[in-house]
Amino acid sequence: MTPRILALGIVAAAGATAQEAGPPASAPRRFRLDPTNMPAYTLPDPLKFADGAPVATAEDWIARRRGEVLELFREHVYGRIPAAAQRPLEWKLVAERPVPALRATWRRIELTARHGERALMFPVSLFTPEGEGPVPLVVLICNRPTVPLDADRPVDEEFWAVAEILRRGYATAAYYAGDVDPDRADGFAQGVRGLFADGEPKPDDWGTLAAWAWAASRVVDVLAGLPAIDGRRMAIVGHSRGGKTALWAAAQDERFALACVNESGCGGANILRRRFEGRETVEIINRGFPHWFNANFKKYANREDDLPVDHHMLVALVAPRWVHVGSAEDDIWADPRGEFLGVWHAGPVYRLLGRAGLPSSEMPPIGEVMRGDGLAYHIRAGPHNLTLEDWRAYLDTAAIVFQEESRAR
């Protein structure tokens, strides 16, 4: 080595040392997780029919493949809704009053499902902004019974950002998931699945997440018909088990122009085939929450590769409507990178339908939103929760979606 080259080598080494001392404060921070021993996997191709033929055109997807994929999720994951539950519900307005502090009107509406002699009622809480309607609607599937929904108690802006939503000119509604179907393994008889049960249980009968998603559709049956609400501009939002539900609801119900899917993890937006220590797997989720999915799903414990679907296909079912998935840096249980990949790998279906999807296969820095065309993703610092920071990211996407919907008229 000549002295000159040696000198250059020293400079390069010194540069590396300076970098190792830590990036400058302004450098974006990125999510880092290197799961060890994660088996290699191959994702099922959403753009192949079950018989292996290619899905070549938008028409192929819309008319045939979308229905095929929906049925696969019903059969193997979430379960089927009984025919008797497919009707709109009875409803009545039971309370209505102004909330001056929020410059809004609050209403409580009760929905009642009937089957034979039996009935089940669940209430919905609705805030509409003062002024001229109709306005867009943001529906929250509330999986925390401790979060206040009625106007009698101050709103919790972290879990249901009512004031922020109203400030942006939208209406917002929420219902407790547990009022529809209890969030307990032994709650079947008290919920809507028990109400509509006829005969022997079947392996593809609906689980609790499907029941909660069914309720989201029954809620918009009613709310989209109110003069205050613009039924063509509706978003569905859910966190964690509610996020899994929001994605399944939007996959099935095309009235939702946008699904905001917060930290939904296993059975939500993440890729099930990414098995590693520290995240929730099919085996773990079925053990902890046997009521959430149908009986068939139990067969896939530690056999994820045998599933004919993975959850990029669930995101793709919403196409060309919008999906925005959010992760939290510390929420390894939900596998943030797997959630990002669930969105990224839905891209080919979006592109077939004329939308670009996400702009990059690299996750955005912590605290930033990656917003493409039809798909959006963010990861924020901190633990598993639905926060005002998440809401702001979702509502910025909603502004774009609702604007697109108004232009389309």
Q: Which positions touch ligand GTR (CB under 6 A)?
A: 143, 240-241, 265-266, 280, 285, 288
Residue with Cβ nearer ligand GTR (35 or 365)? 35
SS3 74: helix
Instruction: Cis check for the bond before 320: say yes or no (omega within 30 of 0).
Output: yes
Instruction: Give buried/exposed letters for 33-51 (b at 16+ CB in 10 A, else e).
Output: eeeeeeeeeebbebbeeee
Residue with Cβ nearer ligand GTR (67 or 288)? 288
As measured in angstroms, the least distance from the Cβ of 285 to ligand GTR is 6
240 is known as an active-site residue: yes
As measured in angstroms, the least distance from the Cβ of 179 to ligand GTR is 16
As measured in angstroms, the least distance from the Cβ of 287 to ligand GTR is 10
Of 57, 60, 58, residue with least CA distance to 68: 60
- Note the helical H segments in 81-169: 162-167
Token pair for residue 380? 């924020």
Give the β-pairing of 90-99 and 104-115: antiparallel
Element holding 369 (H helix, E strand): strand 368-371
Token pair for residue 128? 């509409």
Of 367, 316, 366, residue with least CA distance to 342: 316
As measured in angstroms, the least distance from the Cβ of 242 to ligand GTR is 7
Instruction: Cis check for the bond before 134: say yes or no (omega within 30 of 0).
Output: yes
Residue with Cβ nearer ligand GTR (265 or 374)? 265
As measured in angstroms, the least distance from the Cβ of 334 to ligand GTR is 7
- Which residue in the list 240, 264, 324, 345 is annotated as catalytic? 240
Report the alpha-carbon distance of residue 69 to residue 50 in Å, rounded. 9
User: In the chain, what is the straight-line distance between the N-terminal and C-terminal CA atoms, in Å?
Assistant: 72
Residue with Cβ nearer ligand GTR (76 or 239)? 239
Amino acid at 306: D
Residue least distant from ligand GTR (Cβ): 240
Residue with Cβ nearer ligand GTR (241 or 321)? 241
Altogether, the residues listed in the chain come to a count of: 409
Number of neighbouring beta carbons within 10 Å of residue 87:
11
As measured in angstroms, the least distance from the Cβ of 266 to ligand GTR is 5
As measured in angstroms, the least distance from the Cβ of 221 to ligand GTR is 26
Query: Would you say 148 and 156 are in contact if contact means Cβ atoms under 8 Å apart?
Result: yes
CA dihedral over 246, 220, 376, 351, signed as positive or negative: positive
Report the alpha-carbon distance of residue 257 to residue 113 in Å, rounded. 26
Residue with Cβ nearer ligand GTR (209 or 375)? 209
As measured in angstroms, the least distance from the Cβ of 239 to ligand GTR is 7
Of 325, 133, 154, residue with least CA distance to 237: 325
Element holding 99 (H helix, E strand): strand 90-99
Residue with Cβ nearer ligand GTR (143 or 172)? 143
Element holding 129 (H helix, E strand): strand 118-129
Cα 172 to the center of its chain, rounded Å: 17
DSSP per-residue string spanning 373-397: BSEEEEEESSSSS--HHHHHHHHHH
Residue with Cβ nearer ligand GTR (349 or 386)? 386
Annotated catalytic sites, by residue?
240, 384
